[in-house]
Chains A and B, each alone.
Chain A
Amino acid sequence: MKVMMLTWEFPPRIIGGIAPHVYDLSRALSRQGVTVIVVTCDFPGAPEREILDGIEVHRVNSYLSPTPDFASWTYLMNMNLKRYAAGLLYLDHQVDVIHAHDWLVAEAAIGLKHLFRIPLVATIHSTEYGRRNGVHTDYQRMIHQTEVWLSREAWRAICCSDYMASHVNFALGLPRENISVIPNGVDLQKFSPSFDRESFRRDYASPDEKIVLFVGRMVYEKGVGLLLEAAHKVLRSMNAKFIFVGEGYLRDVLAKKAMDEGIGRKVYFTGFLDDPTVKLLYRTADVCVVPSLYEPFGIVAIEAMAAGTPVVVSDVGGLSEIVQHDVTGVVVHPNDADSLAWGILRVLKDRQYANVLSERAGQRVIKTYNWDVIAHATSQVYHKLLKEYSSGSWKRPSQFS
């Protein structure tokens, strides 16, 4: 089995969540005997071609000349990606599946699909409709229609949660039975390096303070404002430090608000932190809070669970599927500061309860959000569609393959 992954970001080029997703998925597939070729955009200092953990990576000139806007650049980048990959596929007749990640590689994926009659799988990580809470301008409509086009051209679509699958069904009009749900995962090894917890902890809180951790973009839909509101209520009965990790337009607004309201010394806005430090913070915190108002998946909750930290999450989107209340974490009412404060205190006040939750949560991560399990489910999708493909008439005539 050979798969060509198309992605606009791949390490060391990391812009959002797609790069680590494709990297971890490709590595896990490769461990299971699937040959993976990644065709992606170039990045300063990264080699044009390399074998990385068993993955064949090709970095293509991503179109560096001036372009009118981001979407125009994206379509031009696709032109280059497609031209390059067409040359690869002309020489390599073994590729069974093309796997695209989001609309950002739609033209390359669809073009190659028809040129070589190779079935296409598309992972829809998010939608324009979801990102913008509706489609309001021609620019957004063009991206939305490109997503619809990609989802129709795909033999099968993959979404990371039941919530996302029903959202794609609604927003793109794609039949639910065309969508496979395969969750995102975490690499447990990244949570294992040994470290001096007490000394690391001193950089963030005094020994008598409990650490309440938030990790995410500092934006409205992540519920950060709500967490600051809940902080007041928690601090009435518990000595704690609220650590907010991440950047966003609300960071300065909330930092000022905390000062004005007299809890400036109880909150710490760290800004962006590198990945290893964030992993250590997960392992140091007493509770990790995910108070989102909109969340297609909720990787932060899974990372905290992998780190052995109890989680308090709001009952929205993918989070509701990840955390089971009173079993693997505490689930609180969305957009409700009282409920959020109650959940945080419930964990902080009962050490034994917190331990039971994090123990079970750790088991759930190993069982469900493990890249080997995810890669297996993904290759099952490939096998199923190849079976359908081989019994159909749409394929390259034998004299061409």
Chain B
Amino acid sequence: MRVSILTWEYPPRIVSELSAYVQILSQTLAKNGNEVHVITFHDTLRGDEKEPSGVIVHRVGNPVSTHVNVLTWDLTLSCEFERVCANVHYDSGRIDLIDCHEWLSVVAAMTLKRAFRIPFVMTLDSLEEQRSNFGSEPLNLAVRSIERMGTNDALFVLVKSEAMKAQVVNLHGLNSEKVKVVRRAGDLSGLAQLYDEAARTGFAG
């Protein structure tokens, strides 16, 4: 199958552990015979690169360079994610599954789901509620609302621990069956099976 991974960090851009995790995940998926397209942001690098693992990385910039907050930064960047993902879809062939990481890439995933009827899975490394220490400034609430929309719209929500699963189910009112715990240490081939299942389930809603 053809998978498109949307992430705001991917080596050489490393902000957190997410970057390395997405790289291992994409390599695992490629090794299992999937065509993997990583669509990501970089300040200066642009264009497509095929890695030795077979993973194809598409790097874009933000079409608007000045921003007043991370929210507006993300919402203009999302248009570029959508553009590149549409290009892959039209030029390489139908994408079967979108894998998006954090609220930062879920806006594009939600649009792509409706435009092409492609299911998406959403991985959460952390929650805005915890990051902002239960902040209730308008910016925190807006980010939380995107996170909530995204988790409800996703076919599966992937988290790192049982504790986080309980949190996200409770916070965003999710069916606990759609939230899956992914152990990041060791073999990720179980995850590849989950992705196969998601792509077979197809577009829902």
Determine chain A's interface SS by DSSP, over half rule: helix
**Complex CA distance for A75 and B75, rounded to whole angstroms:** 6
B180 at the interface (CB under 8 A from A): no
Pick from A87, A141, A149, A396: contact of B63, CB under 8 Å:
A149
Interface window among A66-74, A257-265, A303-311, A321-329: A66-74
B116 at the interface (CB under 8 A from A): yes
**Complex CA distance for A115 and B75, rounded to whole angstroms:** 16
15 A-B residue pairings within 8 Å (CB atoms): A67-B138, A72-B71, A72-B72, A79-B111, A79-B146, A86-B114, A90-B117, A107-B76, A111-B79, A111-B111, A114-B87, A115-B83, A138-B67, A142-B67, A397-B90
**Complex CA distance for A114 and B83, rounded to whole angstroms:** 5
CB-defined contacts of B111 to chain A, threshold 8 Å: 79, 82-83, 86, 111, 115
By the criterion CB–CB under 8 Å, are B75 and A86 in contact?
A: no
A65 at the interface (CB under 8 A from B): yes
B163 at the interface (CB under 8 A from A): no
**Complex CA distance for A71 and B138, rounded to whole angstroms:** 13
Interface size class of A (residues with CB under 8 A): 20 to 34
| A72-B110 CB under 8 A given contacts A115-B86, A117-B86 | no
A228 at the interface (CB under 8 A from B): no
- Chain A nearest CB, measured from B55 CB (Å): 23
Interface size class of B (residues with CB under 8 A): 20 to 34
- Chain A nearest CB, measured from B68 CB (Å): 5
B151 at the interface (CB under 8 A from A): no
By the criterion CB–CB under 8 Å, are B66 and A83 in contact?
A: no
By the criterion CB–CB under 8 Å, are A66 and B138 in contact?
A: yes
**Complex CA distance for A375 and B71, rounded to whole angstroms:** 37
- Chain A nearest CB, measured from B80 CB (Å): 9
Pick from B87, B115, B146: contact of A89, CB under 8 Å:
B115
Return the chain B residue nearest A114 by Cβ. B83
Return the chain B residue nearest A147 by Cβ. B64
- Chain B nearest CB, measured from A258 CB (Å): 41
A355 at the interface (CB under 8 A from B): no
- Chain B nearest CB, measured from A149 CB (Å): 5
**Complex CA distance for A67 and B144, rounded to whole angstroms:** 11
- Chain B nearest CB, measured from A132 CB (Å): 14
Return the chain B residue nearest A141 by Cβ. B66
B29 at the interface (CB under 8 A from A): no
Return the chain B residue nearest A112 by Cβ. B115
Interface string of A27-70 (1 = CB under 8 A from B): 00000000000000000000000000000000000000111110
